[in-house]
C-alpha cells in the first residue's frame, strides 16, 4: 500500500534529523485501521541536552535579526505549507483520524496563523515616556524572552504546534518543541517547512519520547526561559508547578467543558443543526467543543428530537473516505473514556437517545452519542469528555441556566443561543469563560486571544497578546548629556 506517510520519522536537533537507527522507538498507528504506519525515535538524554544547547546557541543570532527578516522567513514558511498542502493534509488524517476536509481546514488555520505572526511581529511596539529632565530619554521596548519549551497535543497537532512555533520565532525566540507521540509526522513535516523556509540550525528543535522526562529536563534547564503548553488540566497544573519553582513564565491553554444555553426564543432546527455540527467536529476532541447542552424547558423536547436526528445523519468512517463527517477517536484511551462516560451515566438513570456503542469495524470508532435524563452525579457533566458524547439537560430561567453552566471548575469556552439582546449581554457578562459565542461557534482565531479562567489555563495564545507572551519589557533611561 502506498501512503503519503513519511518513510522515516525523526527528531530535529540543531538542524540534524536523527532517525530511529540505533535508538529506542515507538509505533505510530492509524486510528481508523489500527495499522502501524511508522516508528518514532525516542529522545535520549543526550538528544535533550543537545536540543537545549542548540536553542541556546541559536538564540543570539536569531534574536538579533530584525522583525522584517524574521517575518520574511515566516512568510516563506506559510507559502511552503500551501505548496505541500495535499500531502500534509493526508498525513494529518492518517495519524489523527479526522476527515480529510477537516485536515485541510486545519492547514488553512496553520497558514493564517503563521502569516499573522509574520505581520504582528513588526508591531511589537514599546513606548516613550515624557522626559523628566532636559535631554533625558526614557522608553520601554519589547525583546524576546529567550529559548522556549513548547508542548503541543494530538487533537489539532498542526495548528497548535504551528501557533506556538510561529509566535515564538516571530518574537525572536528559539524553540524546543515537544509534540504528541500519537501525531508526530505532521509536526515533523511542519518543522521541515520552517527549516526549508530559512529558520537557522538550532532555532527550532523537535523532540519525542517520554513526556515527563523531556518536560522535567526542559523546564529545569537554565537555558529555557518560557513554557507554553496546550493539553489537559492535570498535566498543565503539574508543568505550571514545575515552572513556578524556577520562576519561569508559563502559558497554559488547558481543558474545557463548554456549556451551551439554548433559550426558548430561537429557531430550534437552526440551533440544533449548529450544535451538532460543532459538537462532533474532530469526534468531540476539541477543547472548545460544546460538551454540556442546557435547553430551556419550553424548547427541550423539540431540540432533543432535532439534535438526535441530525446526530444520526452524520457519516462516520475513515477520514480518508469521501463524505465522512466524523472519524475515529485518536487513541484507545479516548475510546475507553467514551464507553465509561456512557456506561456510568446510563447506570445513573440516563437515557441513550442514539449511539452509545462502537460500530462493528476495526479502529477507534465510537458512534456519536446523545444522552438525556442525566442526574448531577453523571461524570460526563463534571469531567472533560473529549469524545463524541453529548449530554442534554433542561433549565427554567437565566439564573438556573447560568448556575448550571458555571458549576464546574473549567472556564475555557461557553455558548448561548438567543435572539434577545438582554439575554445575550447578561450571559456574556456572567458566564465564567474566556471564549464566548452568541448564536455561533467559532474555532480559535489567529488574531483573537484565547485563554481560560479557573482551571482552564493561564495567559493567552493568539492575537497580539499571544506574541506578547514570548517577549519581556525592558525599560531604558538614557541621558543625552555629555559626560
- Scored b (16 or more CB within 10 A) or e, 105-143 reads bbbebbbbbbbbbbbbbeebeeeeeeeeeeeeebeeebe
Read off the pLDDT of each residue in 162-180 and give the average, rounded to a whole number: 98
Average pLDDT, the chain: 96
Are the C-beta atoms of 374 and 326 separated by less than 8 Å? no
User: Cα–chain-centroid distance for residue 21?
Assistant: 31
Residues annotated as part of the active site:
253, 287
Kindly tell me if the per-residue pLDDT of 197 is higher than 60: yes
Grid cell at residue 211: 513526556
Question: What is the pLDDT, as a whole number, of residue 483?
Answer: 84
- Cα separation, 171 vs 66, whole angstroms: 10
Grid cell at residue 290: 460544546
Are the C-beta atoms of 286 and 253 separated by less than 8 Å? no
Instruction: List Cβ neighbours of 109 (8 Å cut-off, separation of 6 or more).
Output: 159, 443, 444, 446
pLDDT band at residue 2 under the 50/70/90 scheme: low
3-class DSSP string for the chain = CCCCCCCCCCEEECCEEECCCCCCEEEEECCCCCCEEEEEECCCHHHHHHHHHHHHHHHHHHHHCCHHHHHHHHHHHHHHHHHCHHHHHHHHHHHHCCCHHHHHHHHHHHHHHHHHHHHHHHHCCCEEECCCCCCEEEEEEEEECCCEEEECCCCCHHHHHHHHHHHHHHHCCCEEEECCCCCHHHHHHHHHHHHHHCCCCCCEEECCCCHHHHHHHHHHCCCCCEEEEECCHHHHHHHHHHHHHCCCCEEEECCCCEEEEECCCCCHHHHHHHHHHHHCHHHHCCCCCEEEEEEEHHHHHHHHHHHHHHHHCCCECCCCCCCCCECCCCCHHHHHHHHHHHHHHHHCCCEEEECCCCCCCCCCCCCCEEEECCCCCCHHHCCCCCCCEEEEEEECCHHHHHHHHCCCCCCCEEEEECCCHHHHHHHHHHCCCCEEEECCCCCCCCCCCECCCHHHEECCECHHHHHHCCEEEEEEEEECCCC
Give the CA-trace dihedral at 67, 72, 75, 79, to 10 degrees.
-170
Read off the pLDDT of each residue in 85-93 and give the average, rounded to a whole number: 98
Grid cell at residue 469: 507572551
Read off the pLDDT of each residue in 283-300 and give the average, rounded to a whole number: 97
Are the C-beta atoms of 184 and 248 separated by less than 8 Å? no
Grid cell at residue 271: 440551533
Instruction: List Cβ neighbours of 382 (8 Å cut-off, separation of 6 or more).
Output: 257, 408
The string of pLDDT tens digits covering residues 369-423 is 999 999 988 999 999 999 999 999 999 999 999 999 999 999 999 999 999 999 9
Lowest mean pLDDT among 349-353, 386-390, 478-482: 478-482
We find that the CATH architecture of domain 11-254+456-475 is 3-Layer(aba) Sandwich (3.40)
Are the C-beta atoms of 285 and 330 separated by less than 8 Å? yes
Kindly tell me if the per-residue pLDDT of 225 is higher than 70: yes
pLDDT band at residue 443 under the 50/70/90 scheme: confident
| Domain assignments of the chain as residue spans, ordered by start | 11-254+456-475, 258-445
The sign of the torsion formed by the CA atoms of 19, 22, 23, 24 equals: positive
Nearest to 51 by CA among 142, 166, 148: 148
Are the C-beta atoms of 392 and 310 separated by less than 8 Å? no
Read off the pLDDT of each residue in 209-218 and give the average, rounded to a whole number: 96
The string of pLDDT tens digits covering residues 238-282 is 999 999 999 999 999 999 999 999 999 999 999 999 999 999 999
Read off the pLDDT of each residue in 131-158 and give the average, rounded to a whole number: 96
Grid cell at residue 50: 543537545
CATH topology (fold) of 258-445: Aldehyde Dehydrogenase; Chain A, domain 2 (3.40.309)
Read off the pLDDT of each residue in 458-463 and give the average, rounded to a whole number: 96
Nearest to 195 by CA among 7, 53, 13: 13
pLDDT band at residue 1 under the 50/70/90 scheme: very low
The count of other CB atoms within 10 Å of the CB of residue 463 is: 18
- Cα separation, 300 vs 264, whole angstroms: 9
Amino acid at each position: 500500500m502506498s501512503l503519503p506517510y513519511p518513510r522515516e520519522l525523526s527528531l530535529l536537533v540543531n538542524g540534524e534529523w536523527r532517525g530511529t537507527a540505533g535508538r529506542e522507538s515507538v509505533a505510530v498507528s492509524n486510528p481508523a485501521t489500527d495499522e502501524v504506519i511508522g516508528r518514532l525515535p525516542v529522545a535520549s538524554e543526550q538528544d535533550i541536552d543537545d536540543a537545549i544547547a542548540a536553542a541556546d546557541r541559536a538564540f543570539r543570532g536569531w534574536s538579533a535579526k530584525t522583525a522584517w527578516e524574521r517575518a520574511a522567513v515566516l512568510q516563506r514558511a506559510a507559502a511552503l505549507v500551501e505548496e505541500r498542502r495535499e500531502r500534509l493534509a493526508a498525513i494529518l488524517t492518517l495519524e489523527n483520524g479526522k476527515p480529510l476536509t477537516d485536515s485541510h481546514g486545519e492547514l488553512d488555520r496553520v497558514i493564517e496563523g503563521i502569516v499573522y505572526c509574520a505581520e504582528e511581529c513588526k508591531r511589537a511596539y514599546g513606548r516613550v515616556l515624557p522626559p523628566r529632565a532636559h535631554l533625558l530619554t526614557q522608553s520601554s521596548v519589547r525583546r524576546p524572552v529567550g529559548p522556549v519549551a513548547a508542548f503541543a497535543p494530538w487533537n489539532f497537532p498542526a495548528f497548535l504546534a504551528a501557533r506556538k512555533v510561529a509566535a515564538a520565532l516571530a518574537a525572536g525566540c528559539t524553540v524546543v518543541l515537544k509534540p504528541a507521540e500519537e501525531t508526530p509526522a505532521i509536526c515533523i513535516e511542519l518543522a521541515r517547512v520552517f527549516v526549508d523556509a530559512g529558520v537557522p540550525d538550532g532555532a527550532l528543535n523537535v523532540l519525542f519520547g517520554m513526556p515527563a522526562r523531556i518536560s522535567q529536563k526542559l523546564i529545569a534547564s537554565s537555558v529555557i526561559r518560557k513554557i507554553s503548553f496546550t493539553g489537559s488540566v492535570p498535566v498543565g497544573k503539574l508543568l505550571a508547578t514545575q515552572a513556578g519553582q524556577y520562576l519561569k513564565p508559563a502559558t497554559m491553554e488547558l481543558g474545557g467543558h463548554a456549556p451551551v444555553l439554548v433559550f426558548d426564543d430561537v429557531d430550534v432546527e437552526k440551533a440544533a443543526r449548529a450544535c451538532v455540527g460543532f459538537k462532533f467536529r474532530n469526534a468531540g476532541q476539541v477543547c472548545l467543543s460544546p460538551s454540556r447542552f442546557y435547553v430551556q424547558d419550553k424548547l427541550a423536547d423539540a431540540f432533543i428530537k432535532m439534535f438526535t436526528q441530525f446526530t444520526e445523519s452524520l457519516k462516520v468512517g475513515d477520514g480518508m473516505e469521501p463524505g465522512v463527517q466524523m472519524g475515529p477517536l485518536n487513541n484507545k484511551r479516548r475510546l475507553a473514556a467514551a464507553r465509561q462516560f456512557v456506561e456510568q451515566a446510563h447506570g445513573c438513570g440516563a437515557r441513550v437517545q442514539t449511539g452509545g456503542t462502537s460500530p462493528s469495524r476495526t479502529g477507534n470508532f465510537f458512534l456519536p452519542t446523545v444522552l438525556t435524563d442525566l442526574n448531577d452525579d453523571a461524570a460526563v457533566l463534571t469531567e472533560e469528555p473529549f469524545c463524541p458524547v453529548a449530554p442534554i439537560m433542561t433549565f427554567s430561567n437565566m439564573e438556573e441556566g447560568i448556575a448550571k453552566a458555571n458549576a464546574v471548575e473549567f472556564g475555557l469556552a461557553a455558548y448561548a443561543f438567543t435572539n434577545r439582546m438582554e439575554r445575550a449581554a447578561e450571559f456574556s457578562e456572567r458566564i465564567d469563560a474566556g471564549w464566548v459565542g452568541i448564536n455561533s461557534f467559532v474555532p480559535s482565531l489567529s488574531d483573537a486571544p484565547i485563554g481560560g479562567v479557573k482551571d482552564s489555563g493561564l495567559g493567552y495564545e493568539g492575537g497580539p497578546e499571544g506574541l506578547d507572551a514570548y517577549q519581556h519589557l525592558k525599560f531604558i533611561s538614557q541621558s543625552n548629556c555629555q559626560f
